[in-house]
Amino acid sequence: MPPTASSQKVALITGCRSGFGLLTALDAARAGYRVYAGLRDVSTADDLRAQAGELPITPVQLDVTRAEEREAVVADILAREGRIDALVNNAGIAIAGFWEQFDEDELRSMFEVNVFAAWALTKLCLPNMRDRRAGVIVNVTSMAGRMATPGLGMYAGSKFALEGMSEALRHELRSFGVRVVLVEPGPYKTDIFARNRRMCRASASELPDGPYARLQAKVTALFDRMGHKMGDAREVSRLIVRLLDDPTPRLRYPLGPNVRPRLLIRKLLPFRLEERVVDRVLG
C-alpha cells in the first residue's frame, strides 16, 4: 500500500554541508518543514547536526552526481513521508579559468553537478508533485547565469543552461500547480569562494609569461577585492524559505551586492558599451 502522506511539509535540499544549503536547511526547518539535507559525504554532517539541535532535519547521503544515490534518497523520502513539497537544487561547484585553458573532463564535471544533477533530481521529484498538483522547485543559479565575466565563462555556461531549462520548466508545469523559481545570488560569503574555490589545471599552472598571465592576474585581483564586499549568505537562505510558501512567485530573484547595477548595465547598455565597462573594471 502507498504511504500515507505526512501532514508536515517536506523539503529536499542539496549541498547542505555549508553556505546557502546549510543555512536554508536550518531556516526551512524553523519555518515548519521536515528537511532532508543532502550532503556529498554524510560523514561531514557534524556541523549541520550541531546547529540543528532538535530541529526536524535528517542528513542524507547524496552525491548529486551519482544516479543511485539520487534515486535512493527520493524513494526513501516518499516511502517515509508520501510527499516532497519542495526541492531546492542548491549543490554546485565553480571552476575558474579561461575557455582555452579548460580540459574536457573539468568542464564536464562542472556541468554534471550544476546542470545534469539538478535535471535528474527534479525529474525524480516531479511525478509526486504533479500527482498532488502542488510543489515548488527552487534552482539556485547565480548572477553568472545572467551576465558572464572573464575567468568564469565555463561556470556561467552551466548557470545559463540551468536558467534556460528552468524557464521552460516553469511553463511546462504551470497547469500542474508546480512552481519553478530561480534564485540568482551575486557574491556572498560562502565556501564557493573560500574552501571550495577552484581553478582549472592549466589556469593554476599558468606561467608568468603565458598568454593569459596578465588577464589572469587582473581577474584574480578582482575576485580578491570582491571578497571584502560579499553579502551575508543568510539573505539568500531567508529568501529561499519565503519562496517555498509563496503561491505566486516571480521566475527570477537576483540579489546581492552590486546586482542592480549589473542588471541595469545588461538591460540599458548596448553590448559594446558593456565591454568597455568590463575593460574598465579589470583595469
The structural domains of the chain, ordered by start, are 10-281 (3.40.50.720)
Nearest to 24 by CA among 57, 53, 62: 57
Q: Specify whether the CB–CB gap between 31 and 244 falls below 8 A.
A: yes
Nearest to 58 by CA among 48, 70, 44: 48
CA dist., res. 7 & res. 14, Å (int): 22
Average pLDDT score over residue span 158-187: 97
Q: Specify whether the CB–CB gap between 93 and 112 falls below 8 A.
A: no
CA dist., res. 16 & res. 38, Å (int): 6
CA dist., res. 155 & res. 110, Å (int): 7
3, pLDDT greater than 60: no
Confidence of residue 1 (pLDDT cuts 50, 70, 90): very low
pTM of the predicted protein model: 0.92
pLDDT score of 197: 67
Average pLDDT score over residue span 30-47: 97
Q: Specify whether the CB–CB gap between 115 and 160 falls below 8 A.
A: no
Cα atoms found within 13 Å of the Cα of residue 257, Cβ hemisphere only: 12
Nearest to 21 by CA among 197, 240, 207: 240
Identify the weakest region by mean pLDDT among 63-72, 118-127, 266-275.
266-275
Query: Which residues are tagged catalytic?
Result: 155
216, pLDDT greater than 90: no
User: Which region holds residue 236: left if phi is over 0, alpha if psi is between -120 and 50, else beta?
Assistant: alpha
Nearest to 224 by CA among 109, 100, 96: 96
pLDDT score of 72: 98
CA dist., res. 135 & res. 121, Å (int): 14
CA dist., res. 210 & res. 216, Å (int): 10
Helix (H) or strand (E) holding 252: strand 252-255
Q: Which residue has the cell 551575486?
A: 186
* Total residues belonging to the chain: 283
Confidence of residue 193 (pLDDT cuts 50, 70, 90): low
Mean pLDDT of the chain: 91
CA dist., res. 20 & res. 262, Å (int): 22
CA dist., res. 75 & res. 229, Å (int): 42
Q: Which residue has the cell 526536524?
A: 56
CA dist., res. 215 & res. 23, Å (int): 35
Confidence of residue 164 (pLDDT cuts 50, 70, 90): very high
